[in-house]
Every structure is written in C-alpha cells, then in structure tokens.
Structure 1
Amino acid sequence: MKRTHLPLNALRVFDAAARHLSFTRAADELAVTPAAVGQQIRALEETLGVILFRRQTRGLELTPEAERALPALREGFRQFEESVRIMQQGQASHMLTIAAPRDLIAKWLAARLAVYAATAPQLRFVLATIHDEPDFTEANLDLAIHFGAEPTAEGVHARPIGDETLVLVAPPGTPATAPRIAHPCDAEANGSIMADAGLAIDAALAGLGSALVPSLIAARHLAAGELVALAPPEPSAHRWWVSAPTPQWRQAKVRALVEFLLQPEASA
C-alpha cells in the first residue's frame, strides 16, 4: 500500500483497541465514542481485507494476523514519534535562529538580544548574516531583519521597526567639511569606502570623516556621546523590516521576540 493511502488514524485506533481489548476503553483513551472506534476498525478491516478482532462473549480477541502485525505497527509509531522529536528539536522553544545584516547585529541587535535573554535565561540564539532581503527557502530561519523595502515573497509577512531616518554622524569636534565615508547606504559620499554602515561608523570613530547612516545603528554611539549629529536627520526611503514565513509567526517564541524588538525603547 502506498504511503499516501496508509490509514494512519485507523491504525492508531487499532493500536489502542488492541492494547485494551475493548472498544469502550480505547474510546476513553482517544476521547471519542465506542461507536466511532468500531466504525474505524470496520473500515480498516475492509481496507486491508483482513479480520483484526474476534468478538467473543468475554470481549475482544486479536486474530493471529493482527497479533503478528502489532510489534511492527508499534515500532512504526515509535519511529514517527522520534521523527517528530527530531524536527521539533531543531526549532525548540529555547532556540531562535535570526538572520540580519552584520552591522545591525553588531550595533543594535546583539545588545537588544542580551537584554531580552536576561528575562529568559534558557534562550539561545543562532545569528546568521545577510546583505539583502532574506530568502527563507534557502535557510532554516525563525525570523530575519533587513534594511530596504517591505518583503514581497509569497507567504512571508513583515513588520517595520519604526520609521527610519538617516543621520550624518562624526566624533565631537569633527568639522562639517570632513570627508563623508561611503558605504552601500550612501553611495554619493566622497571619502573612504566601507562595506556597510556599521564599518562606516567605526571608520568615523577612528577619525576618517563623517558617515550618513541609519539612525537605528548609530543610536547607541550618539547616546554615549561618542558621535554627534552634524545635521538634522534625513528621511529614508527604506526601513528595517522584521520578517518571517507564516508558520514561524505562529510560534510563541517568534511573536514574543518580535513584540520586544518593536517596543519604542527597543529601537532607541
């Protein structure tokens, strides 16, 4: 019989009835009526073309064929249970796999995760780096964060981390005429070239000039006084998006983390 045609629910009912040798006690275990158990057994016997139980005056008795099949059936259910355990283990409630740009991880996300983990010490994080909109078909992720437009992939849903702006930052005392460090978010700059906005911030801290970067990843340096804004923030055409496929949004661990990251104080 093909796997797609296996009567798995009826086999589960058969296993319960065989253990109890009673449709009534099997029904109690399965939270159904004795009549429903009887219907499942009759349907299974018709499907397989064999008799599974002899109805005796003292109750039920397994046929020899049914008795010989039970060990293999129960081993099969044990294997099902083990396969489910393995699948769940990779996405256990204490593990969160997150993909984000390297600069966001270094300048904002890692610190936020540390605060969040303090409220739930059992949590463990797996962090992966991405450069653009995440491809959930290529990686087993609980969620991802990227800077850009709202994701458009089918089955992927996203929420923005506030309204983002761009801010020109430099160490205190840096002249407004200092070279502006170039990076992918600021291709019009005329100074040294860095791979991402986080490295542009580090270069600015080292004295290589100013950097026009997303406010979110500059916030901690600004709050600490290590950087100052050389001009008012500029509107950004892009935002930071937290995204995940629909099944991941159903997980309590994902929803809880997203709600924390979207709190106003989480983006400050």
Structure 2
Amino acid sequence: MKRTHLPLNGLRVLDAAARHLSFTRAADELAVTPAAVGQQIRALEDTLGVVLFRRTARGLELTAEAEAGLAALRGAFLNFEEAVQAMQAGQSSKALTIAAPRDLTAKWLLPRLAAISVADGEMRFAVMASDEALDFTEANLDLAIRWAEGPGNLEGEALESDGFVTIARPGGGADVEIGWPGCPGEDATTPVRVADAGLAIDAAAAGLGRAVVPELLAGGDIASGRVVVLGEARPSRLGYWLVAPVPQWRQKKVRALIDALTI
C-alpha cells in the first residue's frame, strides 16, 4: 500500500506550538523565527484542510481538530526517537566485516586484528577477500582495503608506506626476478611468476630470486629477518587505501578500527 506523504516538518512545528501555545516560544525552541512558525502552521493547515489554532482574548488556543490528533502525533515522534536510538545502537557493536586482498590479509591485516582483539576481547572480525565490484550493502561490509591510486568515489585514508622495495633471502638466492600480477616490470618473460605479492615475498624468502613488492606488505618479513631489502625503496603512485561509503565511514566502530590500523 502506498504511504501518504507526511509533512513532517510542519507536524514538528505543530507539536512545539501546541506545547507552548505560543509561536514565539515554539520559534525559540526550534531556532527559527515566529514568522517561520506561522508559515509552517498555515502550510500544514492548507495541506490537512483544517484549522489548527485560533487567537482569542486569552491567547493562542488549539482547535478541536488539532486536539484530536496531538496524542497520536506525540506518540509518533516518540516512536521516531526510539527508531533512531535503535539504529544508533549498532554503533556500540564491536563486530566488523572487512574486505582486503588475500596477500595483505595474511601479511599485514591479520596480525593487527589479532593485536586489537587481545587489547579488547569483545572485538569480533569477519574478513573476506576483496573484489573491486564488492557492494558494501549486499556484502554487509564495514570497511575495505584496496590497492589503488586513491579512494575513488568512496571515503578513504591511505596506509603509510615507502612504496616498493626489492627483497631477497638473507645471504642471497637465485639471481632472477620473481614476478606477480601488477608488480613493476612484470611480464611473460619473468623467470619466476606467482599469483600475488604475498607469494612473491615467500618465494624470495625461499631463495627463488628477488622480488619487488609493496613495502607495507613485506614489513613483517623484513623486521623478522626472513628477507632483506636490496637498495632503496621506490615511490609508487599506488598504495593501500582504507575505504568505505560515507555511512559506514562515519560509524564509531569503523572510525575506531581505522585509528587502530593507522597508528
């Protein structure tokens, strides 16, 4: 059934004016002018086809028609407030769904989520493989991490990184390049090719050759001594971005996670 269009702003003004029996005091409450209150009431009367107020010697009075609807109107506004509170209650939830590339999840994200969970035992995470075509609403996503030049049409914040680094096994390995889709200079002639940058790090650590990978991704393996950096880091126009549509981005639990991941 098609719902009747409700003049909610006018009804809100009616509620305030009825409580105060004064357009001036209603205007103070609503932070508008008395003239604006009068205009809203007249527009509401035109819409409803009834007279809502009469001026008498004693001041402003409600008509019988206005009195007849006030209890239901105020009950409706209470229901609106409860609905808003129910929707905002999700902000206190500590369950988040995150999408990220598989290699970033394994090499960078999971260790950080584990540390966050240790610090707050109520945190709950669901992590899924990212896809550029992911629908945030359909997938019930709170946050995604993408390898890109920027956030695109989403809200976003970059994860700090030195760009690309060339890595190899400590003491050296095979004198060949390890390629992966998207790596600088990767082509069909690369001697060793793997599915992603995470596997390229593992291949380098195994001694299969040297790999050019995102510094952020290799940070843990570099810090542990599993691989070493050869030469200087290379700046990159690409990077890892935390992204989400505006509604998800503004959620307190998402903002808290972003803060924790970007420390």
Q: Normalised by the size of structure 1, how large is the TM-score?
A: 0.68
Pairs within 5 Å for 1:66-85: 66-85=66-85
- Provide the C-alpha distance between the structure 2 equivalents of 1:148 and 1:45, rounded to a whole number of angstroms: 55
Aligned residue for 2:99, secondary structure, equals strand
Q: Give me the whole-angstrom Cα distance separating, in 1, the residues matched to 2:256 and 2:37.
A: 40
Count of residue correspondences: 256
Q: Which residue of 1 aligns with 2:109?
A: 109
Note the C-alpha offset of 1:24. 4.4
1:184 matches 2:181: yes
2 CA distance for matches of 1:169 and 1:78? 65
| Matching residue within 154, 173, 176 for 1:175 | 173
Does residue 242 of structure 1 match 2:242?
yes
Report the counterpart of residue 226 of structure 2 in structure 1.
Answer: 226
2:83, 2:38 → 1: CA distance?
A: 29
Deviation at 1:50, TM superposition (A): 0.5
**Corresponding residue for 2:16?**
16
Bigger Cα displacement from structure 2, 29-38 vs 45-54 = 29-38
- Stretches of structure 1 that go unaligned for 5 or more consecutive residues are none
Task: Assess if the C-alpha contact under 8 Å between 1:101 and 1:146 holds in 2.
Answer: yes
Alpha-carbon shift at residue 165 of structure 1 (Å): 0.5
Q: d(CA) in 1 for partners of 2:97 and 2:21? A: 46
CA distance in 2, matches of 1:243, 1:57: 62
SS in 1 for 2:167: strand
Q: 1:61 to 1:216 in 2, by over 3 A?
A: same
Q: The residue matched to 1:167 in structure 2 has which SS? A: strand
Cα displacement string for residues 80-131 of structure 1 (whole angstroms, at most 9, x for unaligned residues): 3344334434456967654321322332234445667899998766544314
Which amino acid letter does the alignment assign opposite residue 73 of structure 2? L
Match among 154, 157, 171 for residue 156 of structure 1: 154
Distance 2:131 2:199 in 1: 14
Give RMSD over aligned pairs: 4.2
Measure, in 2, the Cα distance between the counterparts of 1:142 and 1:129: 14
- From the superposition, tell whether residues 109 and 70 of structure 1 become closer, same or farther in structure 2 (CA, over 3 Å): same
Q: Report the identity percentage.
A: 55
**Residue type of the alignment partner of 2:174:** A
In the alignment, what sits opposite 2:44?
Answer: 44
Separation of aligned partners in 1, 2:102 and 2:86: 30
2:91–2:251 Cα contact (<8 Å) kept: no
Of 110-119 and 46-55, the range deviating more from structure 2: 110-119
Q: State how far apart, in whole Å, the 2-side matches of 1:234 and 1:32 are.
A: 57
Contact preservation (8 Å) 2:174, 2:208: no
Mark the runs of 5 or more structure 2 residues left unpaired by the alignment: none
Letter in 2 for 1:29: E
1-side partners of 2:148 and 2:58: how far apart? 72
Q: Which amino acid aligns with 2:47?
A: T
Q: Structure 2 CA distance, aligned partners of 1:237 and 1:133? A: 22
**Does structure 2 conserve the Cα–Cα contact (< 8 Å) formed by 1:99 and 1:128?**
yes
Letter in 1 for 2:18: A
Q: Aligned partners of 2:239, 2:180: CA distance in 1, in Å?
A: 17
Please give the per-residue CA displacement for 1:47-99, whole angstroms capped at 9, x wherever unaligned: 32201234344444433322222233233323333443344344569676543
3-state SS of 1:229 partner: strand
Whole-angstrom CA distance in 1 between matches of 2:40 and 2:50: 14
1:65 is matched with: 65
Quote the residue 2:145 is aligned against.
145
